[in-house]
Chains A and B, each alone.
Chain A
């Protein structure tokens, strides 16, 4: 093995993601403005804006990251460091319906394992996987504050509680 000489770029160099920044409709831009107006410091809007970008683009892709860096006047790395900290920010593509089964204690002792198993069998994917048609992603997540109505899962932002296998079938089959 021999050491390779690497040209290290100075930190002040802008990061080239190889993409153009994302663009949004005037309505979405207005929504972003409304969010920015809440704070004396623009950077505070980083999470609300990430959710908007995710909603519009499916996930926080490099073009979305670049857009946010420009919009908030921060570095690309500032966006990445925040994006990678929060479990609800997705920097990889994700299914149209994200099934998030709560796995923490109160749900576990009321049958969370069976919920995961049922979803897994029905969709033919393991936890952490996405169906080949891109419709469903199955995840196990930590406590969603639904312990009195366990077991439960959240599909995108919607809570589904007191789940039974029949109820799971109904919910999944009814999705457009």
Chain B
């Protein structure tokens, strides 16, 4: 597995290869905790939010919402306590970047959370980590103890009037808890059901108090934004997509791994065939899911010779999305009917059951997939599946429903041959 920056100086990945990179000493010797010092030495909370706004940083968990704007929604005059919650529930299939950030550079996350907390006048924050990543919770607890001992977490941080406590928290194996309102339900000790928005968490989140939920990669970008200034950070990327982005590359490439690219990296084809070491066993590229399992699947001919730009706008123009940056490469041995069935089973299993379209819809979709797989395909099944998707997409309570529908809609549209075979010649196709 490679962990490298391509096309830019490593920013988020700059310390990951250092020996003992997770320790506070190595972090401090390599520029760590300079940003929080700068903030405490003379920036107001509004200054911090303005820098983040200028940076064009967008939420790296999947939705891509502008981070500075999210922070500015927290009402300043609210008498209630405010919370910062780090979303480390990384569960989107194909995504594993946060894991390496926390494993190799936990103090970068702590510093990012401290700066966010200062900007929002928050005294307490939680790191909600998926239960399977228990070893990361242990790493974060060690790092937090180091930071506490160094006066960086706790009362009167670095001698200032700013006090903040950070706690780790564990999930227990539910994909839905990566959705921010479901995460908050879970953090309150309830089933991980999403909540109605509005009110948005910025107004009424954890314990009905103003809360900002940010992904690990979003928060770890904040120290650099403060150090270099929002504008300089933005210029590393494009106008609307500032900075750099981590891509988790998996599937049929020679060098899977975590790659840091500048936003706007302008050639997806080169990325696959050169930067990621090319296709495994010299096979031909068939498909790419560029942003985690939920986004539209792309055909090879949408990528090869098309100069696909890897940022929010570029990928939308190319027919998909950045999402979480879970970049799954598939060669010609993959049957897209099967890969889509695999993902649909994932969504069926992970649907929280709260709303009917998602709970029943994903269940029916899996039933149809299984019938087709067992040789019971009918010509009208493609339309049947699209109708089912249509009854989920935009009609379910939270985005999990959309996430379940999009892979199927795009797979049927872009890889009809893998479906037709089974629908029109079911016995032959199965």
* Chain A interfacial positions (CB closer than 8 Å to B): 38-48, 50-51, 72, 81-82, 85-89, 103-106, 108-110, 141-150, 154, 157-159
Are B346 and A157 within 8 A (Cβ)? no
Q: Which of B80-119 contact A (CB under 8 A)?
A: 90-96, 98-99
**Given known contacts A106-B250, A106-B251, is B93 in contact with A87 (CB within 8 Å)?**
no
Are B172 and A105 touching (Cβ within 8 A)? Answer: no
Does B342 interact with chain A (Cβ within 8 Å)? yes
Assess whether B173 is in contact with A105, with CB atoms less than 8 Å apart: no
B residues near A (Cβ < 8 Å) are 1, 90-96, 98-99, 126, 130-135, 167, 169-175, 186-192, 207, 248-252, 256-258, 289, 293, 326, 328, 330, 333-334, 339, 342-343, 346, 349-350, 352
8 Å CB contact of A142 from B169, B187, B258, B346: B346
Instruction: Report which of B132, B171, B175, B339 forms a contact with A109, defined as CB distance below 8 A.
Output: B339
Chain A residue nearest to B252 (CB atoms) is A109
Distance of A128 Cα from B175 Cα, bound (Å): 20
Chain B nearest CB from A65 CB (Å) reads 14
Cβ B174 vs Cβ A87 within 8 A = yes
CA distance A154 to B248 in the complex (A): 20
Instruction: Specify which chain B residues have a CB less than 8 angstroms from the CB of A146 in the assembled complex.
Output: 96
Measured in the bound complex, the distance between the Cα atoms of B174 and A41 in whole Å is 22
CA A82 to CA B189, docked complex, whole Å: 8
A147 and B326 contacting across the interface, CB-CB below 8 Å: yes
Residue of B nearest to A100 (CB): B132
Which residues in A have their C-beta under 8 angstroms from that of B135? 157-159
CB distance from B124 to the nearest CB of A (A): 8
Q: Which residue of B90, B93, B187 is within 8 Å of A106 (Cβ)?
A: B93
The answer on a CB contact under 8 Å between A142 and B93 is yes
Chain A nearest CB, measured from B130 CB (Å): 7
Q: Min CB distance, A153 to chain B, in Å?
A: 11
**Which residues of A have CB within 8 Å of B342?**
103-105, 108
- Say whether A154 contacts B172, CB under 8 Å: no
Report the bound CA distance from A46 to B1 in whole Å: 36
Which of A41, A50, A72, A149 meets B1, CB within 8 Å? A149
Contacts of A87 in B (CB 8 A): 172-174
Can you name the residue of chain B whose Cβ is closest to the Cβ of A46?
B189
Cα distance A100–B145 when bound, in Å?
31
With known contacts A43-B189, A88-B172, A157-B134, A147–B339 Cβ distance under 8 A: no
Interface centre among A45, A81, A108 (most CB of B within 10 A): A108
7 smallest beta-carbon distances between A and B, as pairs = A43-B189, A147-B250, A86-B172, A88-B173, A87-B173, A106-B250, A46-B189
- Which residues on B sit within 8 Å (CB–CB) of A104? 93, 293, 342-343, 346
B residues less than 8 Å from A45 (CB atoms): 189
What is the bound-complex CA distance between A82 and B131, given in angstroms? 14
Per DSSP, are chain B's interface residues mostly helix, strand or loop, or mixed? mixed
**What is the count of residue pairs linking A and B with beta-carbon distances less than 8 angstroms?**
139
Asked if A145 and B90 make an inter-chain contact with CB atoms under 8 angstroms apart, the answer reads yes
Query: Residue on B with the closest CB to A143?
Result: B93
Given contacts A86-B131, A105-B339, could you give 15 more A-B pairs where the C-beta distance is less than 8 Å? Answer: A43-B188, A43-B189, A81-B191, A82-B189, A88-B172, A89-B172, A106-B93, A142-B93, A142-B346, A142-B349, A143-B346, A147-B96, A147-B328, A148-B250, A150-B250
Chain A residues whose C-beta falls within 8 Å of the C-beta of B326 in the assembled complex: 147
A49 and B171 CA atoms in complex are apart in Å by 11
30 A-B interface contacts by CB (under 8 A): A41-B188, A41-B189, A41-B207, A44-B169, A44-B188, A45-B189, A47-B170, A47-B189, A82-B191, A86-B131, A86-B173, A88-B173, A89-B173, A104-B343, A105-B94, A105-B293, A108-B339, A109-B251, A109-B334, A141-B173, A143-B91, A146-B96, A147-B96, A147-B328, A148-B1, A148-B96, A148-B258, A150-B250, A154-B132, A158-B135
Q: Which residues of chain B are within 8 angstroms of A159 by Cβ–Cβ distance? A: 135
* Closest residue on chain A to residue B330 by CB atoms: A109
A63 to B381 CA separation, bound complex (whole angstroms): 49
Instruction: Find chain A residues with CB under 8 A from B293 CB.
Output: 104-105, 143
Question: Which residue among B172, B293, B333 has the maximum number of chain A CB atoms within 10 Å of its CB?
Answer: B172
Most buried by A among B132, B135, B170: B132
Contacts of A144 in B (CB 8 A): 132
Q: Which residue of B lies closest to A156 (CB)?
A: B134
Contacts A106-B94, A147-B326 given: A47-B256 contact, CB under 8 Å?
no
**In the complex, what residue of chain A is closest to B249 when comparing beta carbons?**
A148
User: In the complex, which residues of chain A have a beta carbon less than 8 angstroms from the beta carbon of B134?
Assistant: 157
Residues in chain A near residue B133, CB distance under 8 A: 145
B91, B186, B207: the one contacting A145 at CB < 8 Å is B91
In the assembled complex, the CB of A140 is this many whole angstroms from the nearest CB of chain B, namely 10
Q: Which residues of B contact A47 (CB under 8 A)?
A: 131, 169-172, 186, 189
Write out the residue numbers on chain B whose beta carbons fall within 8 Å of the beta carbon of A147. 93-96, 248, 250-251, 256, 326, 328
Given contacts A82-B190, A86-B174, contact A143 B94 (CB under 8 A): yes
